[in-house]
C-alpha cells in the first residue's frame, strides 16, 4: 500500500467548458501542490491555484515559488502568462466592506487568468447608501456585476434593483453571531425581492468568476 495514488486530470475541460481544471489548495499538502506545479512547468501548462494560504506558499520550494504570480489578499497564484486584454472591462465587482475584498479578489484573479478585465468598486455597503449611488454610472451598463457582501447581505438586492445586467451574489462568511458563517448573507441573496439575482456558495469568489466567464463566453459566441 503506497503513500499516494494516481490522479485523473480532467484533460478535456477547456475544450468542453471553456476553462481549465483549477488547483484547489485548501485540501492539498505543500508537497502535493509542489508536484502539481512542477509537472505543469514541465509541460508548459498554465495553472490557476486558489485557496493557497500564505504559509503554504512560503513553504514551497523557492524554485517553484519564483515561477508563481502570488496574490496574498486573494490567496491565489497564477503560473504562466495571462492573456492581455485591450477591451474595456465588461465585469464590475462591487463589495461592501474590508472583509469582502479577499473573496472579491479571488473572482478578479480568476477572470484575469482568462484575459478578462474587471472594474473593482469596494467599500460601498448599504449603511452609507450614497457611496453606492454616487458610483452607479460605473456599473450600470456592464453585462455582468458581481456583488460581494457578508453580514446581512443587502447589497446584491439593492444592486439587482438598479441595473439590467446579470447580477451574481457572492455571500461572505464574515461578522459574528448569526452572520458568522455566511448563511445569512447567502439566504438573503436567495430570498431577494429583486428579480433574476443568481447566487454562488459562501466565499466562492472563484465560482463567481467562472460564472461571469461563462456569460462573457456565451455573449462572444453570439
Interaction between residue 86 and its own copies (CB under 8 A): no
CB atoms within 10 A of CB 106: 26
Q: Smallest gap, in angstroms, from Cβ of residue 64 to its own copies?
A: 18
Piece of 38-46, 57-65, 96-104 that binds its own copies (CB under 8 A): 96-104
> Which string of x and - marks every residue 145-174 that binds its own copies (by CB under 8 A)?
------xxxx--xx-xxxxxxxxx--x-xx
Q: Which of 80, 89, 115, 207 binds its own copies (CB under 8 A)?
A: 207
Nearest to 82 by CA among 40, 34, 116, 52: 116
Half-sphere exposure of 220 (CA within 13 A, CB side): 10
What is the signed CA dihedral for 108, 114, 117, 121, rounded to 10 degrees?
-10
Q: Smallest gap, in angstroms, from Cβ of residue 42 to its own copies?
A: 20
Q: Smallest gap, in angstroms, from Cβ of residue 82 to its own copies?
A: 10
Interaction between residue 117 and its own copies (CB under 8 A): no
Cβ 111 vs Cβ 143: under 8 Å = no
Piece of 23-31, 38-46, 60-68 that binds its own copies (CB under 8 A): 23-31
Residue 16 or 43 with smaller CB distance to its own copies: 16
Q: How is residue 83 written as a grid cell?
A: 492573456
What span, in angstroms and rounded, lies between the C-alpha atoms of 61 and 95? 35
Q: Which of 16, 43, 66, 87 binds its own copies (CB under 8 A)?
A: 16
- In residues, how long is the chain? 222
- Main-chain phi, psi angles of 199, to 5 degrees: -135, 145
Interface positions, 125-144, toward its own copies (CB under 8 A)? 125-131, 143-144
Residue 60 or 200 with smaller CB distance to its own copies: 200
Amino acid at each position: 500500500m503506497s503513500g499516494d495514488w494516481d490522479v485523473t486530470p480532467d484533460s478535456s475541460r477547456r475544450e468542453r467548458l471553456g476553462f481549465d481544471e483549477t488547483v484547489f489548495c485548501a485540501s492539498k499538502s505543500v508537497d502535493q501542490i509542489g508536484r502539481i506545479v512542477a509537472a505543469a512547468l514541465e509541460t508548459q501548462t498554465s495553472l490557476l491555484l486558489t485557496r493557497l494560504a500564505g504559509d503554504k506558499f512560503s513553504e514551497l520550494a523557492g524554485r517553484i515559488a519564483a515561477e508563481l504570480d502570488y496574490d496574498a489578499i486573494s490567496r491565489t497564484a497564477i503560473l504562466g502568462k495571462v492573456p492581455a486584454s485591450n477591451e474595456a472591462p465588461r465585469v464590475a465587482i462591487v463589495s461592501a466592506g474590508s472583509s469582502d475584498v479577499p473573496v472579491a479578489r479571488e473572482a478578479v484573479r480568476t477572470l484575469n487568468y482568462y484575459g478578462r478585465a474587471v472594474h473593482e468598486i469596494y467599500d460601498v455597503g448599504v449603511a452609507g447608501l450614497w457611496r453606492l449611488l454616487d458610483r452607479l454610472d460605473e456599473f450600470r451598463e456592464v453585462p455582468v456585476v458581481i456583488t460581494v457582501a457578508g453580514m446581512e447581505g443587502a447589497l446584491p438586492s439593492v444592486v439587482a434593483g438598479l441595473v439590467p445586467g446579470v447580477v451574481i451574489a457572492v455571500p461572505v462568511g464574515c461578522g459574528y453571531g448569526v452572520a458568522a458563517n455566511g448563511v445569512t448573507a447567502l439566504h438573503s441573496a436567495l430570498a431577494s425581492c429583486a428579480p433574476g439575482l443568481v447566487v454562488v456558495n459562501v466565499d466562492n469568489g472563484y465560482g463567481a468568476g467562472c460564472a461571469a466567464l461563462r456569460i462573457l463566453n456565451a455573449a462572444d459566441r453570439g
